[in-house]
């Protein structure tokens, strides 16, 4: 990944990055303002070896000796020999071991200096302890050296810098803590974004389709929630142009034998299959083609609802297939056809929901019906159920010139897409290509393999379907209620569907 990829990754996961950054900054701020402030008082000690000022050799040896002693003194300055007298002198209610944790000493390299730091929540007490330690350690050092008669009087420890009353706490460092919290929160958000990228196995661009052609890429449109058909969209709207592209690709996908009878399906509900089917049929009809839209979803039909067509419960595809009408199939078809507001577009609705849709679609009457419709129309578009929940679409595809798979960008998993594709290809049917649907118009649109020349301020929402329980509906973008695909009972009213 280059910098541009990381930039787009952060944009796509911007809510997560903002949330973690805010949390990190807030936690660091709360800690900084709620933590008890600690003050530091510092002193500096000078270790020397008294010798004759005229003896240059003795001065050099004494300086080297003092530097060696300084390293040891820095280690023992917070020992009980020094701290116990300090505790008694200042009347501190603390043990030497506990006080030692508040005292630290360092010896700068190649010097005879010792820097002592005392930390305490009381600034005055920190300064008093530091000065007391400086005074006491001079005595402690002499005591330590006097145990060796040859070293008596050879070392002198002087306090060259006494402690002053600290005016500001040494910790917490509010500014630094807040900056660190911001950086850690930003880093956590970036890490989570990368993890999402690693484990994200949804289809987002043409590369993830493999060898399956991309017929069209359709942008998500907030207006499509209330106006899903392109007849309500602008003539040059992004969505309208995308369906023009789909129509053109279908007309030229097989120059010698273009598909005329086409099934449209998806892997799962909620991918925009039904509205894509209707809009494709509308676009073909607007081009002057005599088009028939067949509502072949015998389980959860929705075309009548979208197009405002009266659902003929006793005269539809189901009745044509189950033999309830006359023997003359051609006459029955003419009776069952519905006109629409779009010129050149006719609609064949489902009719009364049958209890055995798969069996009806796998019957000889369905084969005869398809051949009859092929002769009467330039294009016949079948709206089929999703492939993975039920087998209806796979059965229908055997009689089609080809099948279009609708894939919802950023929602349909690659395994689901492959499962739907294999369900068609494994029975010898042809997959014409994929319609990548509901692509977000956002700053990271390049991740979805499509750049739009229009800016409408769309806001992308994924939305999900939690389950497929019967009759559970959601006002969705796809025209598909998230319901189970068990056929409805014969006596079930339309209001229950």
User: Domain 39-161 has what CATH class?
Assistant: alpha beta
pLDDT for 443: 47
pLDDT for 61: 56
Position 485 pLDDT exceeds 60: no
**435 band by pLDDT with thresholds 50, 70 and 90:** very high
pLDDT in tens, 384-420: 999 999 999 999 999 999 999 999 988 889 999 999 9
**60 band by pLDDT with thresholds 50, 70 and 90:** low
> Per-residue pLDDT averaged across 59-63, rounded?
54
Residues of the chain with CATH 3.40.50.300: 204-496
pLDDT in tens, 302-351: 888 888 887 767 788 888 888 766 667 888 888 888 888 889 999 999 98
As a CATH number, domain 204-496 is: 3.40.50.300
pLDDT for 276: 92
At 287, give phi and psi (nearest 5°): -85, 5
pLDDT for 411: 86
- Tokens of residue 484, six digits: 């189970």
**422 band by pLDDT with thresholds 50, 70 and 90:** very high
- Tokens of residue 365, six digits: 């009457």
- In eight-state DSSP terms, residue 224 is G
Q: How far apart are CA 300 and CA 294, in angstroms?
A: 14
pLDDT for 110: 82
**Residue listed under structure tokens 């092929």:** 374
Among 60, 432, 3, 408, residue whose Cα is nearest residue 249: 432
pLDDT in tens, 265-290: 999 998 989 999 999 999 999 999 99
pLDDT for 154: 64
Among 279, 292, 222, residue whose Cα is nearest residue 247: 279
Position 462 pLDDT exceeds 80: no
At 214, give phi and psi (nearest 5°): -95, 110
Crossing angle of helices 174-199/3-12, nearest 10°? 90
Among 366, 367, 422, 368, residue whose Cα is nearest residue 394: 422
Residues of the chain with CATH 3.30.70.1130: 39-161
- Between 139 and 480, the more confident residue is 139
- Tokens of residue 172, six digits: 């917490």
pLDDT in tens, 33-53: 999 999 999 999 998 876 544
């Amino acid at each position: 990944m280059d910098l541009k990829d990381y930039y787009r990754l952060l944009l796509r996961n911007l809510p997560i990055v903002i949330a973690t950054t805010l949390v990190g900054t807030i936690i660091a701020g709360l800690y900084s303002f709620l933590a008890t402030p600690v003050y530091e008082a510092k002193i500096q000690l000078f270790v020397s070896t008294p010798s004759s000022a005229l003896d240059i050799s003795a001065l050099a040896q004494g300086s080297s000796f003092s530097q060696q002693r300084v390293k040891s003194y820095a280690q023992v300055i917070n020992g009980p020999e020094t701290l116990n007298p300090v505790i008694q002198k200042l009347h501190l209610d603390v043990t030497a071991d506990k006080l030692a944790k508040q005292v630290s000493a360092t010896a700068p390299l190649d010097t005879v200096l010792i820097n002592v730091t005392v930390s305490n929540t009381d600034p005055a007490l920190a300064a008093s302890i530091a000065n007391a330690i400086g005074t006491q350690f001079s005595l402690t050092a002499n005591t330590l050296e006097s145990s060796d008669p040859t070293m008596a009087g050879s070392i002198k420890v002087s306090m060259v810098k006494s402690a002053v009353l600290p005016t500001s706490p040494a910790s917490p460092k509010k500014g630094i803590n807040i900056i660190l919290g911001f950086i850690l929160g930003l880093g956590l958000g970036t890490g989570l974004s990368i993890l999402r990228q690693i484990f994200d196995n949804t289809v987002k661009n043409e590369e993830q389709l493999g060898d399956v052609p991309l017929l069209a890429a359709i942008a998500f449109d907030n207006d499509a929630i209330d106006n899903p058909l392109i007849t309500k969209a602008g003539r040059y709207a992004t969505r309208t142009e995308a369906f023009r592209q789909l129509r053109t690709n279908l007309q030229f996908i097989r120059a010698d034998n273009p598909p005329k009878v086409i099934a449209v399906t998806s892997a799962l509900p909620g991918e925009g299959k039904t509205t894509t089917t209707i809009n494709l049929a509308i676009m073909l009809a607007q081009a002057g083609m005599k088009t028939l839209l067949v509502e072949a979803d015998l389980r959860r039909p929705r075309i009548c609802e979208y197009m405002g067509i009266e659902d003929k419960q006793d005269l539809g595809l189901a009745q044509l297939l189950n033999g309830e009408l006359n023997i003359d199939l051609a006459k029955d078809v003419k009776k069952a056809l519905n006109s629409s507001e779009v010129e050149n577009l006719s609609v064949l609705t489902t009719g009364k929901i049958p209890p055995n849709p798969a069996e009806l679609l796998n019957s000889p009457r369905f084969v005869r019906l398809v051949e009859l419709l092929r002769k009467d129309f330039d294009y016949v578009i079948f709206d089929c159920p999703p492939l993975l929940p039920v087998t209806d679409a796979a059965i229908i595809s055997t009689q089609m010139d080809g099948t279009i798979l609708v894939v919802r960008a950023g929602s349909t998993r690659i395994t689901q897409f492959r499962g739907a594709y294999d369900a068609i290809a494994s029975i010898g049917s042809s997959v014409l290509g994929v319609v990548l649907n509901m692509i977000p118009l956002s700053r990271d649109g390049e991740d979805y393999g499509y750049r739009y020349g229009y800016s409408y301020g769309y806001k992308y929402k994924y939305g999900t379907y939690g389950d497929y329980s019967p009759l559970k509906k959601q006002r969705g973008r796809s025209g598909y209620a998230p319901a189970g695909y068990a056929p409805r009972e014969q006596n079930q009213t339309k209001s229950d569907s």
